[in-house]
Amino acid sequence: MKILNLLSKISFIMAVMFSLSLRLNAQSADEGKELFNANCTACHAIKDKVVGPALKDVSKRREEAWLLKWIKNSQALVKSGDPLAVQVYKENNESVMTAFETLSDNQIKSILAYVKAESEAPAAAPQNAGMSVGTPTNVDSSSNFETGINWLLFIISILLVYIISLVFKILTRIGDIQGKPVINWNQVNSILLMVFLVVGMIAVIWEFAVHGKLTIFEAGSASAHGVEYDSMFMITLVLTGVVFVITQILLFWYGFKYKADGKRKALYYPDNHKIELLWTVIPAIVLTVLVIRGLITWNTMMNHKDEKARKIEIFAYQFGWNVRYAGVDNKLGAHNFREVGVMNALGVDTNDVNSHDDIITNELHLEVNQPIDIAFRAKDVIHSALMPHFRVQMNVVPGLPTKFSFTPTVTTAEMRVKMSKPEFDYVLLCNKICGGAHYRMKMKIVIDSKEDYAKWMSSQKVLVANKVASTAVALNN
């Protein structure tokens, strides 16, 4: 009776989950829908306003060419002064839509086609009802078959677990009747301990061998202070690794060796001062050495002052980054959050002459072996600037200036060779969950040779061009 009850419950849950999975499959049929769900739903719905406006009938409101430009880079369109773009941006309280420069025209068109189809879907039908019925031709039958097989395997494995537990129950009963247990659980558990030890250790070694290559440590640090950082990381990893291996082996081996066998009695051994002292003092000394070295390293990293360091500002907003270079005078102009707006995203105070030769970009170019001082500033919420290859991370907090100074030592070109990845680029990522499109907050970093940096710099526009025409965009050498 009990079993039947259980089985009927399991099969009911299965049926519900199965029908859910069918729905999901029907959903993934259409390319536009997939792209929309992956890139846009953080901020848009068809019929409701989310972060951005409802997109219902957007193709009727706007020209396709405009939409293509807008979706690829709405901020560029706003900055170009396009009246419609400026209006849409203002109507939405100047919240910034992510740029999707990697989407092709065709991909955007298929998103728009999906938006159009959804706009025209009868208003009465709730969205998911449309999905479960759907058009049968849309359903990918091969993946349904796969889902079916997966569910079958799932059911079989649950049944298997259930049968095994039944077998054990029966064996225990038999043991009760015979007055002598059929299974020696101490024996079974002690063997399982050894199995766990061996399988676990193999898994650890496998992890290091296979996924160790995926860590950023493989290629080495691309900044001067990063070498020290990596050495501390490695020493800590090796020390804790050795302790881990020894303690785990002892733990499981003793569990195995001293299992209760009915012959031996456990020894009552409350404590031993010598051993206690030993395993308190040794870790304390090791930790003190590690922590003091860490403190010294941190202080030299944070207090380092270099007159020749180039001043740079990194500006974070939901959801993107800007860089401001100090220009020829190596002085960043003042800023004021009240000035932040469509035409002045960073709120730079152009009354301050220091700002006139500032240069604002959305890529971080740095010259190799040239120290830089970065000042971080946030527009809206707390972000965190992570530059993993340079072993740099700093919180970016509204109203609270933070800074970091470092020297990049490996150019992008050199790193590409070193990693044998011709496509490689350094990145700056946001490392604080700062909102719906947080995961898209990244910026390309390029480490240039002296010549390339000068060339790139001279192609950038200064903030107030007419006032610095005489100094142009020479470099501060």
Could you give the string, one character per residue 111-150, with x where binding to ligand HEC holds by CB under 6 A and - elsewhere? x---------------------------------------
- 408's CB contacts (< 8 A; 6+ apart) are 222, 223, 366, 367, 368, 369, 370, 372, 390, 447
Pick 62 or 293: Cβ nearer ligand HEC? 62
Q: How far is residue 430 from each of residues 107, 315, 389, 401, measured CA to CA in Å?
A: 26, 11, 14, 17
Contacts to ligand HEC from residues 76-95, by CB under 6 A: 88-89, 92, 95
Task: Select from ligand HEC, Cu ion, none the partner in contact with residue 97, using the beta carbon and a kind-dependent cut-off of 5 to 8 Å.
Answer: ligand HEC
Task: Select from ligand HEC, Cu ion, none the partner in contact with residue 383, using the beta carbon and a kind-dependent cut-off of 5 to 8 Å.
Answer: Cu ion
Instruction: Please tell me whether residue 51 adopts helix, strand or coil conformation.
Output: coil
Distance of CA 110 to the CA centre of its chain: 27
Pick 111 or 374: Cβ nearer ligand HEC? 111
Could you give the string, one character per residue 337-376, with x where binding to ligand HEC holds by CB under 6 A and - elsewhere? ----------------------------------------
Q: Which two structure tokens, joined as six digits, stand for 195? A: 């199995």
Kind plus residue range of the DSSP H or E element containing 226: helix 226-257
Stretch near Cu ion under the rule CB under 5 A, chosen from 109-117, 258-266, 364-372, 381-389 = 381-389
- 115's CB contacts (< 8 A; 6+ apart) are 32, 36, 46, 55, 56, 58, 59
The answer to whether 383 contacts Cu ion (rule: CB under 5 A) is: yes
Instruction: Please tell me whether residue 391 adopts helix, strand or coil conformation.
Output: coil
Of 20, 202, 38, 17, which Cα lies nearest the Cα of 114?
38
Contact call for residues 390 and 369 (beta carbons, < 8 A): no
Cis peptide before 337 (omega within 30 of 0): no
The answer to whether 223 contacts ligand HEC (rule: CB under 6 A) is: no
Task: Select from ligand HEC, Cu ion, none the partner in contact with residue 131, using the beta carbon and a kind-dependent cut-off of 5 to 8 Å.
Answer: none
Stretch near Cu ion under the rule CB under 5 A, chosen from 228-236, 245-253, 364-372, 435-443 = 435-443
Could you give the residue ranges of the DSSP H alpha helices within 121-225? 127-133, 141-178, 185-211
The answer to whether 98 contacts ligand HEC (rule: CB under 6 A) is: yes
With 0-12 CB in 10 A as exposed, 13-18 as middle and 19+ as buried, what is 188? exposed
In whole angstroms, the minimum distance from the beta carbon of 22 to ligand HEC comes to: 26
Identified binder of Cu ion from the candidate list 434, 437, 443, 473, rule CB under 5 A = 434
Task: Select from Cu ion, ligand HEC, none the partner in contact with residue 430, using the beta carbon and a kind-dependent cut-off of 5 to 8 Å.
Answer: Cu ion
Q: Beta strand 364-367 with 442-448: parallel, antiparallel or unpaired?
A: parallel
Could you give the string, one character per residue 294-333, with x where binding to ligand HEC holds by CB under 6 A and - elsewhere? -------------------------x--------------
Stretch near ligand HEC under the rule CB under 6 A, chosen from 50-58, 212-220, 258-266, 291-299 = 50-58
Backbone phi and psi for residue 348, each to the nearest 5 degrees, phi listed first: -75, 135
Contacting positions for ligand HEC (CB under 6 A): 39-40, 42-44, 51-53, 55, 58, 61-62, 67, 70-71, 74, 88-89, 92, 95-98, 100, 111, 319, 437
